[in-house]
Structure 1
Amino acid sequence: MLAFIGGTGLTRIEGLTLRKQHAITTRFGEASAPVAEGELNGAPVLFLARHGDPHVRLPHQVNYRANMLALKEAGATEIVAVNAVGGISVDTGALVLPEQIIDYTWGRDGTFFDDPDEPLVHVDFSWPFDAALRERLKGALAAAGAPWVDGGCYAATQGPRLETAAEIRRLEQDGNTIVGMTGMPEAVLARELQLPYAMLSLVVNPAAGKADREITMAEIEAVLHGGMARVRAVLAALAAHHPRP
């Protein structure tokens, strides 16, 4: 079943006909919110609010392992994750399908394979986002008529503060094009669970030092308001063309 993870600005999906909610407690604790199961454009889908509903968990406080296990236990077979990000070399308001990720986070539980009594597994993570799912997302973006950027690299930073201008210069030198706080360990946990995973990112502000003004929450919220409407249209288009079981 196709699953969506909503980030900042997307705690619900309009048009989702709710059938049931799965309140799942995993061996790593509770997910951020119950997993909503329903239909979107006639397709069965799952939805999980990454930060809770309402938004209560900061990026480093999200129980990513519980979230991913809860989605799998609820029946997810592939995941599209929505992220609000800063633009390093991408304009504000753009939708981005990144193809790479660099992890700058620390102290997060980033694997399911840390039990000393269980076998250690090293997963290949050369290409963190599923190619087939990205191609279907491209079709959904075209169907929704939403302008978008294909490719680029997502820098996963710790948060919750925004970055310094010097940090953004460093990230840009590393090859990053957008910056967010939730892409890791979410993406690698999906890989460990063998769940195809792709990211749809909305650029809500210029990264630090990329504009001659202070970044304000008012500016970010204004972009979120309009941008998430386009995100929902893309998700609806993806669901409409999702293979039926």
Structure 2
Amino acid sequence: MAPRKLGVIGGSGLYAVDGLTDADWTRVETPWGAPSDALFCGVLDGLEIVFLPRHGRGHVHSPSDVPYRANIDALKRLGVTDVISVSACGSFREEMAPGDFVIVDQFIDRTFARTKSFFGSGCVAHVSMAHPVCGGLGATCAEAARKAGVTVHEGGTYLAMEGPQFSTLAESNLYRDQWGCSVIGMTNMPEAKLAREAELCYASVAMVTDYDCWHPGHDAVEVTDIIRVLTGNADAARAMIRNLPALLGTDRAPCSQGCDTALEHALITAPEARDPGMIKKLDAVAGRVLSGPKT
């Protein structure tokens, strides 16, 4: 068993969490630049929590401009072991109504303007994304949300689009009818990929705000409508977070899915060929597997 430290990445509408003691905003420097904002670190019912508003307080970062690598590095640098991503989404399924939460278990990544890996020239690595989220952590989020009175759907495919514009009707119908997606959002990729590279357990809680534009009653998504639902979703998300310490506990066993050892056999570049500058940048996210032969 090892100490657990929970990271929470808050999406649209969720810019703060309540009830933390010994809490303060902490600025973290990373080799990948500055994170979206300072990180709010504190304790909730004995569990250490680090909260990061994905878009920054005041919502200053567009989905394509979020510093995803810096965000994940900062969480890892602060000792986070588990990450819960809370984000707004549109729904492709009638039964996944505005106000519901979907515990995502798969992704289709349609983003194209974002850097998607910590690794590259000088240190190449390939991690498995077959099962891109931590099932155990996701199940705990589902239980915590239900205890908060939220309607929860366990399992669903998240279509990650570039944005910041919403979908066309043709795109919405394609993703819903032919690709079988459940929800659509703009921020879980490359976030989930980077969390896997950083050997963090990652769960995605998608909060439904609208039916995108496929639904005959929602042929045009309006930001004003979304904001009304966002407010209620943010309150429900904070209630879910308050339930997590009792369910997760303060100690954690090794991940049964292997999230915390994702880099075990992922590094391809031979130790003697690794670029020292790249290795230095990877000190937080990949330090566990890079502590062997020196370059």
Same fold (TM over 0.5): yes
**Cα deviation, residue 135, structure 1:** 1.9
Question: Is 1:236 the counterpart of 2:242 in the alignment?
Answer: yes
Moved more, 2-11 or 217-226: 217-226
Tell me the SS of whatever aligns to 2:57.
coil
Question: Is 1:61 the counterpart of 2:65 in the alignment?
Answer: yes
**Cα deviation, residue 241, structure 1:** 2.5
Pick from 125, 128, 150 the counterpart of residue 121 of structure 1: 125
Tell me, in whole angstroms, the C-alpha distance in 2 between the residues paired with 1:167 and 1:196: 31
Tell me the SS of whatever aligns to 1:2.
strand
Question: Is 1:188 the counterpart of 2:181 in the alignment?
Answer: no
Question: Is 1:111 the counterpart of 2:121 in the alignment?
Answer: no
Tell me, in whole angstroms, the C-alpha distance in 1 between the residues paired with 2:102 and 2:74: 26
**Cα deviation, residue 211, structure 1:** 3.2
Tell me the SS of whatever aligns to 1:108.
coil
Tell me, in whole angstroms, the C-alpha distance in 2 between the residues paired with 1:70 and 1:211: 43
**Cα deviation, residue 201, structure 1:** 0.9
**Cα deviation, residue 136, structure 1:** 1.4
**Cα deviation, residue 31, structure 1:** 0.3
Would you say the 8 A contact 2:32–2:69 is kept in 1? yes
RMSD: 1.3
Question: Is 1:16 the counterpart of 2:20 in the alignment?
Answer: yes
Tell me, in whole angstroms, the C-alpha distance in 2 between the residues paired with 1:221 and 1:149: 22
Query: What percentage of residue pairs aligned between the two structures are identical?
Result: 35
Would you say the 8 A contact 1:25–1:70 is kept in 2? yes
Tell me the SS of whatever aligns to 1:30.
coil
**Cα deviation, residue 239, structure 1:** 2.4
TM-score after normalising by structure 2: 0.80
TM-score after normalising by structure 1: 0.95
Moved more, 98-107 or 235-244: 235-244
Structure 2 counterpart of 1:124, which letter? S
Would you say the 8 A contact 1:10–1:228 is kept in 2? yes
Question: Is 1:155 the counterpart of 2:159 in the alignment?
Answer: yes
**Cα deviation, residue 18, structure 1:** 4.8
- Greater radius of gyration (CA): 2
Pick from 101, 106, 130 the counterpart of residue 100 of structure 1: 106
Stretches of structure 1 that go unaligned for 5 or more consecutive residues are none
Partner of 2:184: 179
Structure 1 counterpart of 2:184, which letter? V
Pick from 2, 7, 11 the counterpart of residue 11 of structure 2: 7
Aligned length in residues = 243
Partner of 2:260: none
**Cα deviation, residue 12, structure 1:** 0.4
Pick from 204, 212, 236 the counterpart of residue 207 of structure 1: 212
Would you say the 8 A contact 1:35–1:74 is kept in 2? no
Question: Is 1:144 the counterpart of 2:161 in the alignment?
Answer: no
Deviations 1:47-84 (A, max 9, x none): 00101112100000001000000011011101000010
Structure 2 counterpart of 1:79, which letter? V
Superposed, 1:127-138 pairs within 5 Å as 127-138=131-142
Partner of 1:219: 225
**Cα deviation, residue 22, structure 1:** 2.4
Structure 2 counterpart of 1:17, which letter? T
Tell me, in whole angstroms, the C-alpha distance in 2 between the residues paired with 1:93 and 1:130: 23
Question: Is 1:86 the counterpart of 2:122 in the alignment?
Answer: no
Tell me, in whole angstroms, the C-alpha distance in 2 between the residues paired with 1:98 and 1:192: 19
Would you say the 8 A contact 2:92–2:214 is kept in 1? no
Moved more, 42-51 or 183-192: 42-51
Would you say the 8 A contact 1:22–1:35 is kept in 2? yes
Deviations 1:14-71 (A, max 9, x none): 2233523321121110000011110223321110010111210000000100000001
Structure 2 counterpart of 1:138, which letter? A
